[in-house]
């Protein structure tokens, strides 16, 4: 998802960071906002990155992983909270979303040096991917991975948390109109300053970045997408993307090219978008129907757009090559 045609009255304040939580983050505020508030938002994002990034050997997640099979690690309330929420969605999706996906993500290394694993290599790691094994202890906020080689990866949920936290800092500072873009996780605050809804483009999974197949008119909402177009490599004509099916160890192939979740909670939308991508239309719809106020837009390889309910008022289809159903 991305933004399209944002015209506004007042000159907005915009700030971009590179390389936090593996993505570019741009926050644009359409009200008066002092630079301390923007500083506070970006240091909060940096704080979350510092605690949860797998890229940093000193992060809390890296420390939990390093202690796998050895000892529990006590973590900050932030990290503990995100792990708890991840466990909740893992449970609800019966492991389609699984925060212990780390060993498989490392093996494929799609964002580093992509590698097509052998079946034997996958078979060896699949038993390590199992959220049910994680031992959480609320008293001392500790997390224990009981098997050596187990590895947490919050890549499918941490950006959503950072988005919610950023929006909440802005809201507390009196901001009413803003757009937060955390690498495609979008939060829109309020309406546009002219009181019309924000227009958020839904990426066409088969076209270059920035081509949309529909536009969603959003107000006080978050839109989070997962897609096969996001990160991938191609070998012998086959595309291998970055969302893995924990049960097979392979990139998830449930017929979905992209899915967008719409909600008022970005942490929930982030986890549900990844889960829905793995589950496919039927089971994915089933999952999101359990969360009041959450809606979904699935795009299949057959170029169908399937929505959780009729969104005619808010969703405008802009590409005739796609058919749509509810
Ligand atoms: P993006 O990273 O493009 O925002 P997602 O939110 O769907 O997309 O997260 C994908 C990332 O989450 C992967 O790069 C990987 O780190 C991790 N991941 C991959 N498969 C799963 C899964 N089945 N469950 C949980 N996390 C996953
Ligand atoms: Mg996600
Ligand atoms: Mg995401």
Residue 33's CB: how many other CB atoms inside 10 A?
Answer: 19
User: Starting at the edge strand that comes first in sequence, how are the strands of the sheet with 2-3 ordered?
Assistant: 2-3, 198-203, 212-218, 315-317
Which residues are paired to 296 by β-bridges? 261
pLDDT in tens, 220-278: 999 999 999 999 999 999 999 999 999 999 999 999 999 999 999 999 999 999 999 99
pLDDT in tens, 56-75: 999 999 999 999 999 999 99
Q: Is 272 in the pocket of ligand 1 (CB under 6 A)?
A: no
Q: Are 9 and 193 in contact (CB under 8 A)?
A: yes
Exposure string over 276-313, b if 16+ CB within 10 A, otherwise e: bbbbbbebbbebbeebeebbbbbbbeebebbbbeebee
> From atom 14 of ligand 1, which residue's Cα is the shortest distance away?
242
The ipTM is 0.98
Q: Is 197 in the pocket of ligand 1 (CB under 6 A)?
A: no
pLDDT in tens, 6-20: 444 568 999 998 788
pLDDT in tens, 110-161: 999 999 999 999 999 999 999 999 999 999 999 999 999 999 999 999 999 9
Structure tokens at 13: 């304040």
Distance CA 323, CA 326 (A): 11
Q: Are 297 and 226 in contact (CB under 8 A)?
A: no
Q: Is 33 in the pocket of ligand 1 (CB under 6 A)?
A: no
């Amino acid at each position: 998802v991305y933004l399209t045609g944002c015209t506004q009255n007042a000159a907005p304040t915009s700030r971009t960071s590179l390389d936090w939580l593996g993505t570019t983050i741009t926050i644009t505020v359409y009200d008066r906002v002092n630079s301390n508030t923007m500083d506070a938002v970006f240091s909060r994002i940096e704080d979350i990155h510092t605690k949860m990034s797998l890229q940093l050997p000193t992060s809390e997640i890296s420390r939990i992983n390093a202690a796998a099979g050895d000892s529990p690690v006590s973590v900050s309330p932030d990290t503990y909270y995100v792990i708890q929420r991840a466990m909740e969605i893992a449970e609800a999706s019966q492991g389609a979303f699984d925060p212990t996906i780390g060993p498989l993500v490392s093996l494929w290394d799609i964002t580093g040096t992509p590698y097509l694993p052998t079946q034997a290599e996958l078979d060896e790691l699949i038993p390590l991917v199992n959220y049910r094994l994680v031992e959480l202890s609320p008293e001392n906020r500790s997390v224990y991975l009981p098997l050596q080689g187990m590895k947490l990866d919050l890549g499918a949920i941490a950006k959503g948390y950072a988005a919610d936290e950023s929006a909440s800092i802005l809201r507390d500072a009196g901001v009413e109109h803003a757009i937060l873009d955390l690498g495609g996780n979008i939060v829109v605050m309020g309406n546009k300053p002219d009181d019309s809804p924000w227009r958020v483009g839904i990426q066409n999974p088969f076209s270059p970045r920035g081509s949309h197949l529909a536009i969603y008119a959003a107000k006080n909402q978050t839109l989070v997408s997962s897609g096969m177009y996001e990160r991938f490599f191609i070998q012998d004509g086959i595309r291998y993307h970055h969302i893995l099916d924990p049960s097979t160890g392979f990139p998830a192939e449930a017929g979905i090219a992209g899915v967008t979740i719409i909600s008022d909670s970005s942490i929930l939308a982030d986890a549900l978008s990844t889960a829905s991508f793995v589950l496919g239309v039927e089971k994915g719809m089933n999952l999101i129907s359990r969360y009041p106020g959450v809606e979904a837009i699935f795009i299949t390889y057959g170029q169908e757009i399937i929505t959780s309910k009729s969104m005619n008022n808010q969703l405008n289809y802009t590409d005739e090559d796609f058919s749509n159903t509810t």
